[in-house]
Amino acid sequence: MTVPGFLKAREVVTIAGALIFIVGVGVAQPRFVEYENLTRIANSTVILALLAAGAALVIITRNIDVSVGSTMALTGIVGGSMLRDGVSIAVVVPVVILAGAGLGAVNGIGVTYGRVPSIVMTLGTLGAYRGISFILTSGHSVENIPAEFKKIAVTKLLGMPVIVWGASALLIGLMLLMSRTRAGRHLYATGDNAAGARLIGVRTNGMVIIAFSASGALAALAALVFLAQIGSVSNQAGMGIEMRAIAAAVIGGVALSGGVGTILGATFGAVFITTATSSLSFIGIPGFWADTVIGAILLLALFADARVRAGLEKRRLSARYKRELGGPPEPPPGDRPAPAALPSEKRIAGGVA
């Protein structure tokens, strides 16, 4: 099977794209690649990278989570109010993470046992969690976060904020969990073929709930990073960031059809988005084009992916004809299916090569 190589290729494209982009901008504007600026970019990537990892986990199980922005705001407001009222950091951090996991679990339970399609479920909680966070603060933002918590954001190790080190360690841990453990493989199996996975004894419902809980917990972590970096949190926090997180995961090669993609890819998708948007001012483009750039990168990635997939399919077919017919492969008549039938067929097959 060519699948493992293919998987790797998906991320290699993203990582190479991000690096080439950084080098390209660096050539045009050397200030961009100074160590200090790169650490600044890494620092501002952390929140999106955490959310993108959560989005990837959920998408790998063939679901989608559009509620993470609201989860982030709600957990941020809970954590911020507790910190403001003098609760110790050692208590607040686990409570906030558990709260995020709980909010995510609500999504997971609704999707599995409630049988609600994931986009409907998470759109519902997107509105509901945002509403609850407004009710909790009656519309005000939470300020006066104690200095000892904000200090975390400015503490540096080897010139890089500790938050970046911590987030990298966490994401690497997640990568290992996904690639080296039984639970990780079960997660992939659930997304690739839920019925088949169930038949071989995977608890598919449990895996989906775990994925949503992890996404919620990562959103809560992102909220803590937000609190430390910004020092306050409003009800508007994280509005619309869920779509950026999903875009990052997709740019990183996570397929919405489930079972394909890695945390590494999603992380680099987030790095790509942040570098692209923060490089705009360096190459003299007004900041308000940021969304256009994200959309263009995402669409380019999708077109590239479609081309790669079509090429692989063609190679697979010609190898098969060679095997069956012997001799040099003739271009078979069925090599290119009628273009009218192709897209819809691919869609129902889930687009998995």
Interface residues with another protein (CB under 8 A)? 64, 110, 114-117, 119-121, 123-132, 134-135, 139, 239-240, 243, 246-247, 250, 255-257, 286, 288-296, 298-299, 302-303, 305-306, 338-348, 351
CA-CA distance, 351 to 314, in Å (whole number)? 15
Q: Which residues of 176-205 are buried (b: 16+ CB within 10 A; e: fewer)?
A: eebeeeeebebbbbbbbbbeebeeeebebb
User: Please, which residues bridge with residue 156 across strands?
Assistant: 161
Contact between 274 and 281 under an 8 Å Cβ cutoff? The reply is: no
CB of 294 to another protein, least distance (A): 4
Q: Pairing mode, if any, of strands 160-161 and 156-157?
A: antiparallel
CB of 78 to another protein, least distance (A): 15
For residue 85, give the DSSP letter.
T
CA distance to 103, 109, 233, 308, per residue, from 90 (Å): 21, 29, 20, 48
* Nearer CB in complex with another protein: 90/348: 348
> For 155, left (φ over 0), alpha (ψ -120 to 50), or beta?
beta
* Nearer CB in complex with another protein: 43/125: 125
CB of 312 to another protein, least distance (A): 13
CB of 74 to another protein, least distance (A): 11
* Nearer CB in complex with another protein: 104/184: 104
* Nearer CB in complex with another protein: 85/345: 345
CB of 292 to another protein, least distance (A): 3
* Nearer CB in complex with another protein: 63/267: 63
